[in-house]
Amino acid sequence: MSNKRALKFVRSVWESFRATSGLEPRLLDSLKVTSAVPGKVEFELQLEKNHTNRLQILHGGTIASMVDLGGSLAVASRGLYSTGVSTDLNVTYLSSGGKIGDLIRAEVSCDKFGKTLAFTSIQFFNGKNDMFARGSHTKYVAQAWKDENNIVEELSPDTVKSFKKS
Protein backbone atom coordinates (compact mmCIF):
# COMPACT_ATOMS: atom_id res chain seq x y z
CA MET A 1 0.00 0.00 0.00
CA SER A 2 1.54 3.23 -1.08
CA ASN A 3 1.33 6.42 0.94
CA LYS A 4 -0.26 8.02 -2.13
CA ARG A 5 -3.29 5.78 -1.56
CA ALA A 6 -3.58 6.96 2.07
CA LEU A 7 -3.41 10.62 1.00
CA LYS A 8 -5.98 10.10 -1.76
CA PHE A 9 -8.33 8.29 0.64
CA VAL A 10 -8.04 10.91 3.41
CA ARG A 11 -8.66 13.67 0.89
CA SER A 12 -11.78 11.82 -0.34
CA VAL A 13 -13.08 11.64 3.24
CA TRP A 14 -12.37 15.38 3.66
CA GLU A 15 -14.30 16.06 0.44
CA SER A 16 -17.21 14.04 1.85
CA PHE A 17 -17.19 16.23 4.97
CA ARG A 18 -17.16 19.33 2.76
CA ALA A 19 -20.07 18.03 0.69
CA THR A 20 -22.34 16.74 3.45
CA SER A 21 -21.58 18.45 6.77
CA GLY A 22 -23.09 21.69 7.98
CA LEU A 23 -20.07 22.98 9.93
CA GLU A 24 -16.88 22.07 8.08
CA PRO A 25 -17.67 23.69 4.72
CA ARG A 26 -18.67 26.92 6.48
CA LEU A 27 -15.74 27.15 8.88
CA LEU A 28 -12.91 25.08 7.43
CA ASP A 29 -13.56 24.97 3.69
CA SER A 30 -10.08 26.31 2.85
CA LEU A 31 -8.32 23.64 4.97
CA LYS A 32 -5.83 21.63 2.90
CA VAL A 33 -4.71 18.09 3.70
CA THR A 34 -1.01 18.20 2.82
CA SER A 35 0.16 14.75 3.87
CA ALA A 36 -1.28 11.42 4.95
CA VAL A 37 0.19 8.04 5.70
CA PRO A 38 -1.50 5.27 7.68
CA GLY A 39 -1.97 6.69 11.17
CA LYS A 40 -0.73 10.22 10.49
CA VAL A 41 -2.18 13.28 8.74
CA GLU A 42 -0.96 16.83 8.28
CA PHE A 43 -3.07 19.78 7.19
CA GLU A 44 -2.83 23.55 6.96
CA LEU A 45 -5.21 26.47 7.12
CA GLN A 46 -4.77 30.06 5.99
CA LEU A 47 -6.53 32.11 8.66
CA GLU A 48 -9.49 34.20 7.54
CA LYS A 49 -11.84 36.51 9.43
CA ASN A 50 -14.33 33.70 10.06
CA HIS A 51 -11.59 31.83 12.00
CA THR A 52 -11.03 34.68 14.49
CA ASN A 53 -12.56 36.02 17.69
CA ARG A 54 -13.40 39.62 18.52
CA LEU A 55 -9.69 40.28 19.22
CA GLN A 56 -9.03 39.33 15.57
CA ILE A 57 -6.90 36.31 16.58
CA LEU A 58 -7.57 32.62 15.99
CA HIS A 59 -10.76 31.60 17.83
CA GLY A 60 -10.54 28.71 20.28
CA GLY A 61 -13.68 27.25 18.74
CA THR A 62 -11.94 27.04 15.38
CA ILE A 63 -9.11 25.12 17.01
CA ALA A 64 -11.59 22.79 18.74
CA SER A 65 -13.31 22.16 15.40
CA MET A 66 -9.94 21.29 13.87
CA VAL A 67 -9.24 18.85 16.74
CA ASP A 68 -12.55 17.18 15.89
CA LEU A 69 -11.93 17.10 12.15
CA GLY A 70 -8.27 16.15 12.58
CA GLY A 71 -9.23 13.15 14.69
CA SER A 72 -11.66 12.05 12.02
CA LEU A 73 -9.03 12.40 9.30
CA ALA A 74 -6.52 10.42 11.38
CA VAL A 75 -9.09 7.61 11.67
CA ALA A 76 -9.63 7.85 7.90
CA SER A 77 -5.87 7.44 7.41
CA ARG A 78 -6.31 3.94 8.84
CA GLY A 79 -8.96 3.12 6.22
CA LEU A 80 -12.34 3.97 7.77
CA TYR A 81 -14.48 6.09 5.48
CA SER A 82 -17.19 6.60 8.09
CA THR A 83 -15.02 7.89 10.93
CA GLY A 84 -17.30 7.28 13.91
CA VAL A 85 -18.64 9.68 16.51
CA SER A 86 -16.90 11.70 19.20
CA THR A 87 -16.87 10.44 22.77
CA ASP A 88 -14.25 12.85 24.13
CA LEU A 89 -12.45 15.92 22.87
CA ASN A 90 -9.78 17.94 24.66
CA VAL A 91 -7.96 21.13 23.67
CA THR A 92 -5.05 22.83 25.41
CA TYR A 93 -4.38 26.39 24.26
CA LEU A 94 -0.71 27.32 24.74
CA SER A 95 -0.65 30.71 23.01
CA SER A 96 -2.40 32.71 20.32
CA GLY A 97 -2.49 30.78 17.09
CA GLY A 98 -2.27 33.78 14.81
CA LYS A 99 -4.22 36.43 12.97
CA ILE A 100 -5.89 36.88 9.60
CA GLY A 101 -3.48 35.96 6.82
CA ASP A 102 -1.31 33.63 8.91
CA LEU A 103 -0.81 30.03 7.84
CA ILE A 104 -1.12 27.41 10.55
CA ARG A 105 -0.43 23.73 10.29
CA ALA A 106 -1.44 20.64 12.23
CA GLU A 107 0.02 17.20 12.75
CA VAL A 108 -2.45 14.54 13.89
CA SER A 109 -1.94 10.88 14.70
CA CYS A 110 -4.17 7.92 15.35
CA ASP A 111 -2.49 6.66 18.51
CA LYS A 112 -4.66 3.58 19.05
CA PHE A 113 -7.05 2.07 16.55
CA GLY A 114 -9.42 -0.64 17.72
CA LYS A 115 -12.71 -2.26 16.81
CA THR A 116 -14.67 0.02 19.18
CA LEU A 117 -12.58 3.11 19.91
CA ALA A 118 -9.90 5.15 18.19
CA PHE A 119 -7.69 7.59 20.11
CA THR A 120 -6.09 10.52 18.30
CA SER A 121 -3.80 13.41 19.22
CA ILE A 122 -2.99 16.63 17.42
CA GLN A 123 -0.49 19.48 17.60
CA PHE A 124 -0.88 22.91 15.99
CA PHE A 125 2.01 25.08 14.79
CA ASN A 126 2.26 28.70 13.66
CA GLY A 127 4.43 30.10 10.85
CA LYS A 128 7.49 30.12 13.15
CA ASN A 129 6.94 26.40 13.82
CA ASP A 130 6.01 27.11 17.45
CA MET A 131 3.33 24.85 18.90
CA PHE A 132 0.38 26.99 20.00
CA ALA A 133 -2.20 24.31 20.84
CA ARG A 134 -2.61 20.58 21.21
CA GLY A 135 -5.54 18.29 21.60
CA SER A 136 -6.91 14.78 21.76
CA HIS A 137 -10.02 13.19 20.37
CA THR A 138 -11.60 9.82 21.09
CA LYS A 139 -13.92 8.33 18.48
CA TYR A 140 -16.45 5.50 18.82
CA VAL A 141 -15.85 3.56 15.59
CA ALA A 142 -17.72 0.25 16.08
CA GLN A 143 -20.41 1.13 13.51
CA ALA A 144 -17.88 2.68 11.11
CA TRP A 145 -16.36 -0.74 10.39
CA LYS A 146 -19.52 -1.61 8.39
CA ASP A 147 -19.08 1.10 5.75
CA GLU A 148 -18.62 -0.39 2.27
CA ASN A 149 -16.21 2.42 1.34
CA ASN A 150 -13.62 1.33 3.94
CA ILE A 151 -10.13 0.31 2.82
CA VAL A 152 -8.83 -0.87 6.19
CA GLU A 153 -7.02 -3.85 4.65
CA GLU A 154 -5.02 -1.53 2.42
CA LEU A 155 -4.02 0.71 5.34
CA SER A 156 -3.17 -2.08 7.77
CA PRO A 157 -0.94 -1.88 10.86
CA ASP A 158 1.87 -3.51 8.86
CA THR A 159 1.94 -0.39 6.68
CA VAL A 160 2.12 1.81 9.79
CA LYS A 161 5.04 -0.21 11.18
CA SER A 162 7.01 0.29 7.98
CA PHE A 163 6.28 4.04 8.13
CA LYS A 164 7.57 4.31 11.72
CA LYS A 165 10.87 2.69 10.75
CA SER A 166 11.61 5.31 8.09
- Give residue-wise pLDDT tens across range 97-120: 999 999 999 999 999 999 999 999
CB 137 within 8 A of CB 117: no
The amino acid sitting at 108 is V
- Look at residue 3 and tell me whether its pLDDT is greater than 90: no
CB 47 within 8 A of CB 101: yes
CA 125, 19, 48, 64 torsion-angle sign: negative
Average pLDDT value for residue range 125-134: 97
Q: What is the pTM of this model?
A: 0.91
CATH fold for domain 3-159? Thiol Ester Dehydrase; Chain A (3.10.129)
CB 135 within 8 A of CB 141: no
Instruction: Determine the Cα–Cα distance for residues 38 and 22; give it in Å rounded to an integer.
Output: 27
Please name the residues in contact with 99: beta carbons below 8 A apart, sequence gap of 6 or more. Answer: 47, 52, 56, 57, 58
CA distances from 72 to 44, 65, 144 (A): 15, 11, 11
- Rounded CA Rg of the chain: 15
Q: What pLDDT does 157 receive?
A: 56
What is the per-residue pLDDT across 32-91, written as a single tens digit (0 to 9) for each?
A: 999 999 999 999 999 999 999 999 999 999 999 999 999 999 999 999 999 999 999 999
CA distances from 9 to 38, 50, 79, 110, 148 (A): 10, 28, 8, 15, 14
